[in-house]
Copies of this chain bind each other. A is one copy, B any other.
Amino acid sequence: MSQQLINSVKYLIRLSEEEELLLPTLFNRVTLKKNEPFLQEGKVSNHVGFIEEGLVGYIMTRNGEDVHAYFSGENEWLGNYESFLSRQPSTRSIIALEPCVLWTISKENLQKVFDTMKEGDRMGRLIIEDVFVKSSRQVTSLYTGTPEERYYEFFELFQHIQHRIPQYMIASFIGIKPQSLSRIRSRMAKKH
């Protein structure tokens, strides 16, 4: 059932009856097992998508080690838009951290959304605005944040899904060792 996708789109724009019928035909339902990739680093991204169920992590490689740079859960969009637009190899993998049900869309079909749906461009604008603001906060936090501030930033960005993200991935997002995360957590617990 694609009702969740339609509801999420209707939260952003008005859909005519015809558009409500057309929209799901432009998407494919895809399921991923835990640890299965939606996109692999080094490959060109051909699809972006909507998460009906599950959780994904964005993973980059630094000196052979995984860096967990982002997370998305239900009712959020996923993809590497940079690679998707430019046809350049992706600099990150997107991996299912839980079993996922996704609705994916190709570049060609997304262009149809923009070109044929009355408020298609508005939908695109609002979705990108949202991810851009998050990305922009991440740049700020990477440049200026202390580990404590980055831990708060993690909670602000991922409040809705933080309890489903393993500790070592949170440490990796912040850019510290898991042991340091434990120290920050106990310092913060004492303050409250």
Residues of A within 8 A of B (CB): 60-62, 67, 69, 80-82, 85-86, 91-92, 114, 119, 121-122, 124-125, 128-129, 131-133, 135-140, 142-144, 175
A139 touches B140 (CB 8 A): no
Q: Which applies to chain A's interface (DSSP): helix, strand, loop or mixed? A: helix
Q: Which residue of the partner chain B has the closest CB to A139?
A: B138
In Å, the complex CA distance between A131 and B80 comes to 14
A81 touches B133 (CB 8 A): yes
Copies of this chain, complex-wide, total: 2
Q: Which residue of the partner chain B has the closest CB to A142?
A: B142
A125 touches B121 (CB 8 A): yes
In Å, the complex CA distance between A29 and B131 comes to 30
In Å, the complex CA distance between A124 and B125 comes to 6
B140 touches A92 (CB 8 A): yes
A129 touches B67 (CB 8 A): no
B133 touches A86 (CB 8 A): yes
Decide yes or no: A129 and B85 within 8 Å by CB, A60-B143, A144-B60 being known contacts: yes
B133 touches A131 (CB 8 A): no
In Å, the complex CA distance between A137 and B132 comes to 12
A143 touches B62 (CB 8 A): yes
In Å, the complex CA distance between A77 and B116 comes to 27
Contacts of A91 in B (CB 8 A): 137, 140, 144
User: B86, B125, B139, B144: which contacts A128 (Cβ < 8 A)?
Assistant: B125
Contacts of A128 in B (CB 8 A): 125, 128-129, 132
Contacts of A121 in B (CB 8 A): 119, 121-122, 124-125
